Amino acid sequence: MPRVSQDHLDARRRQILDGARACFARHGYEGATVRRLEDATGLSRGAIFHHFRDKESLFLALAEDEAHRMAEVVAENGLVQVMRDLLSTKDETGPQAYPADWLGTRLEVSRRLRTDPDFRARWAERSRELTAATRQRLQRQRDAGNLRDDIDVRVLTAYLELVLEGLVSHLAMGLPADDLDPVLDLVEDSVRRHRRG
């Protein structure tokens, strides 16, 4: 029997994650039944669970994938850019191709963090990546003289993370988002160093 290439395995894993992202966003964790996951991914349960031990492992892998993608955006462009990406409507080839699905995943993560102590313990390790990326980006900006230096970087990190959580809640409630760019401009301006002159 021929061996399956790593590229094929990686592509199959990506197919599963992309389908599961849409399924969890639409139906929530409990509503994302195996049958719905099969429909969303176009694969059998055997194919899905060959790559992931169970539904919880699949969901955690999806949440980790989202956190990793966010950390990459943060490292390159900052946490405010993650927020801007949430507000933008991009075509399906952009880096944030499915902001609504990302939001659904993020909301499910938040809900499970409140209600599932085991998930909370597993997730704590993963969420540190985003915090570390944000902190490192802010430190680089401070070192370059672009960031205010009167507030500790840890405090600025917590501030930006709270703004992100507030934006996620705002979007989750279905409140209008087309006028929030000036708010994000204000957030960005609030952490910048202002030179006199």
Could you give the CA distance from residue 105 to residue 108 in angstroms, rounded to a whole number? 5
Least confident of 48-57, 103-112, 173-182: 103-112
Looking up tokens 């955006």 gives 73
Q: What is the mean pLDDT of residues 26-31?
A: 87
Q: Give CA–CA dist 32/34, Å, rounded.
A: 7
Tell me the pLDDT band of 91, cut-offs 50, 70 and 90. very low
Residues 6+ apart with CB under 8 A from 146: 192, 193
Q: Tell me which DSSP letter residue 177 carries.
A: -
Q: Which residue has the higher pLDDT, 88 or 41?
A: 41
Q: Are 103 and 171 in contact (CB under 8 A)?
A: yes
Q: Is the pLDDT of residue 51 over 90?
A: yes
* Average pLDDT over every residue of 97-117: 74
Task: Count the Cβ atoms, other than its own, within 10 Å of residue 56.
Answer: 15
Residue 26 CA to residue 33 CA, distance in Å, equals 12
Q: What's the pLDDT band for 71 if we cut at 50, 70, 90?
A: confident
Q: Which residues of 135-157 are buried (b: 16+ CB within 10 A; e: fewer)?
A: bebbeebbeeeebeeeeebeebb
Are 73 and 95 a contacting pair, CB within 8 Å?
Answer: yes
d(CA 116, CA 48): 24
What average pLDDT does the structure give for the chain?
85
Q: Which residue has the tokens 């993650």?
A: 82
pLDDT at residue 94 in the model: 42
Of 181, 193, 186, 106, the closest CA to residue 153 belongs to: 193
Rounded-to-integer distance, Cα 54 and Cα 71, Å: 26
Q: What is the pLDDT of residue 33?
A: 95
